[in-house]
């Protein structure tokens, strides 16, 4: 006999990191966990084996600690080195300037999902998976959800937290195709620098090397943003030729590129400003899909979850739902807008050739000598707008 509840105060569609963080935070803040529902289209085992690497800010670590999802296997980032290929200028952000043990951390997606799933299970959150929401109807005092197995759920508030990648999404009110593809791999080098992350801007897009030690011997998580046709060519190369091209693009700061995992790729675009209603709201990647430059997408989504949990748990009644969602939209507007504008501007500005590139390189050099600006950038990367 199925004993899964069908009546919820909050139903969360999408049990990825942001959706599960919201569920665990709601329970942590006092909401009855039996009134929180998670619906996800994927089996948990699929997510647990996801090999992608993710960048977690120091602020995200603090959130994960609160809900018992930290520590998890990760590599600390002590420094971030930012440079422009072929141009003068670079900047270095260091943890010592901020008095923290790390600016951020690099972890495997599957490890983060495991930690959050355990936190939700301890809290007693009802989880339905694999299960897809086939449709929903919003009424005056609730939202009716229909699942693909025919079951019906009802919730006072529905949170969309299932984003997907840019190429699979419906267009939102603000959308832009960067005509870039991210090539993802784990690579090893002959002269790694412990705990230092690199953001290298090339003529095609940013190239990030994030420190990540592991049993497989690979030391860096690579996110290489290139034109779609170049991405296809890179995927088709054997390992030796791929590493040679990567070394040419990145330079010799880490010595030679000597090993790589299998590569995957996904298209990049901006898709933001989703629609909302009195009883439905989108958070995380479902609300704003960003370019991966500066690694802010997941961290922005976790800040969404933290604010929404606080507002919904403050007065967990059906009548309070619309007021909480209205307050959420107002409170999150500035942080969301700032991150969208900064990542969009960086993705566009550094990926085009022209006389302005020398000025962009010079700006990195000036940033490195002007401590207040560099510290402000570091604070933003760790915590977002506060």
DSSP calls for 142-190: -EEEEETTS-EEEEEEEEE-----GGGSPP-SEEEEEEEEEEEEEEEES
For 12, phi then psi, to 5°, come to -110, 120
**DSSP assignments along 13-31, one per residue:** E--SHHHHHHHHHHHHTT-
Helix (H) / strand (E) element for 294: namely: none
The answer on pLDDT for 374 being more than 50 is no
Better-scored residue on pLDDT, 239 or 98:
239
Helix (H) / strand (E) element for 350: namely: none
C-beta separation of 6 from 151 below 8 A: yes
pLDDT tens-digit series, residues 288-333: 999 998 888 999 999 999 999 999 998 766 567 899 999 999 999 9
pLDDT tens-digit series, residues 261-273: 999 999 999 999 8
C-beta separation of 182 from 266 below 8 A: yes
Helix (H) / strand (E) element for 306: namely: helix 297-314
Report the DSSP pairing between strands 36-39 and 7-13.
parallel
The mean pLDDT value of the chain amounts to 87
Q: What mean pLDDT do residues 281-289 have?
A: 94
pLDDT tens-digit series, residues 198-208: 999 888 889 99
pLDDT tens-digit series, residues 75-112: 999 999 988 776 556 788 889 888 889 999 999 999 99
The answer on pLDDT for 368 being more than 90 is no
Cis peptide before 290 (omega within 30 of 0): no
d(CA 149, CA 131): 8
Q: Taking the alpha carbons of 119, 122, 128, 133 in that order, is the dihedral positive or negative?
A: negative
Residues 6+ positions from 292 with CB-CB distance below 8 Å: 182, 206, 208, 223, 225, 268
Better-scored residue on pLDDT, 33 or 3:
33
The pLDDT value recorded for residue 358 is 45
C-beta separation of 271 from 343 below 8 A: no
The answer on pLDDT for 37 being more than 90 is yes
The answer on pLDDT for 360 being more than 60 is no
The pLDDT value recorded for residue 321 is 87
For 26, phi then psi, to 5°, come to -60, -45
The answer on pLDDT for 378 being more than 80 is no
d(CA 35, CA 316): 10
Report the DSSP pairing between strands 74-77 and 133-138.
unpaired
Better-scored residue on pLDDT, 364 or 42:
42
The three-state secondary structure class of 122 is: helix
Instruction: State pTM to two decimals.
Output: 0.90
Q: What mean pLDDT do residues 134-154 have?
A: 91
Closest CA to 10 of 86, 114, 123, 88: 123
Q: What mean pLDDT do residues 239-254 have?
A: 96
């Amino acid at each position: 006999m199925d004993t899964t509840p069908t009546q919820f105060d909050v139903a969360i569609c999408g049990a990825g990191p942001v959706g599960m963080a919201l569920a665990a935070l709601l329970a942590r803040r006092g909401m009855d966990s039996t009134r929180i529902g998670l619906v996800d289209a994927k089996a948990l085992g699929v997510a647990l084996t996801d090999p992608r690497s993710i960048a977690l800010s120091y602020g995200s670590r603090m959130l994960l600690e609160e809900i018992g999802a930290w520590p998890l296997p990760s590599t600390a980032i002590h420094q971030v080195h930012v440079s422009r290929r072929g141009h003068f200028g670079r900047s270095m952000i260091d943890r010592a300037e901020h008095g923290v043990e790390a600016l951020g951390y690099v972890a495997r997606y599957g490890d983060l999902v495991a930690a959050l799933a355990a936190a939700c299970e301890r809290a007693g959150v009802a989880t339905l998976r694999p299960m897809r929401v086939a449709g929903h109807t919003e009424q005056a005092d609730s939202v009716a959800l229909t699942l693909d197995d025919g079951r019906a759920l009802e919730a006072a508030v529905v949170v969309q937290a299932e984003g997907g990648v840019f190429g699979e999404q419906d267009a939102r009110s603000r959308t832009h195709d960067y005509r870039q593809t991210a090539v993802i791999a784990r690579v090893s080098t002959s002269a790694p620098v412990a705990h230092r992350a690199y953001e290298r801007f090339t003529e095609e897009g940013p190239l990030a090397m994030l420190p990540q030690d592991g049993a497989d011997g690979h030391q860096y998580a690579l996110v290489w943003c290139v034109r779609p046709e170049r991405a296809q060519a890179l995927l088709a190369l054997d390992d030796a030729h791929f590493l040679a091209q990567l070394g040419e693009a990145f330079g010799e700061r880490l010595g030679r590129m000597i090993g790589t995992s299998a590569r995957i790729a996904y298209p990049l675009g901006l898709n933001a400003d989703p629609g909302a209603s009195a009883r439905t709201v989108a958070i995380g990647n479902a609300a704003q899909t960003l370019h991966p430059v500066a690694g802010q997408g997941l961290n922005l989504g976790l800040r969404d979850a933290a604010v929404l949990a606080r507002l919904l748990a403050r007065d967990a009644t059906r009548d309070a739902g619309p007021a909480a969602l209205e307050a959420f939209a107002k409170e999150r507007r500035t942080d969301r807008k700032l991150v969208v504008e900064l990542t969009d501007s960086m993705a566009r500005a550094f990926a085009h050739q022209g006389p302005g590139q020398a000025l962009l390189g010079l700006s990195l050099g000036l940033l490195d000598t002007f401590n207040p600006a560099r510290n402000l950038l570091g604070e933003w990367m760790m915590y977002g707008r506060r």
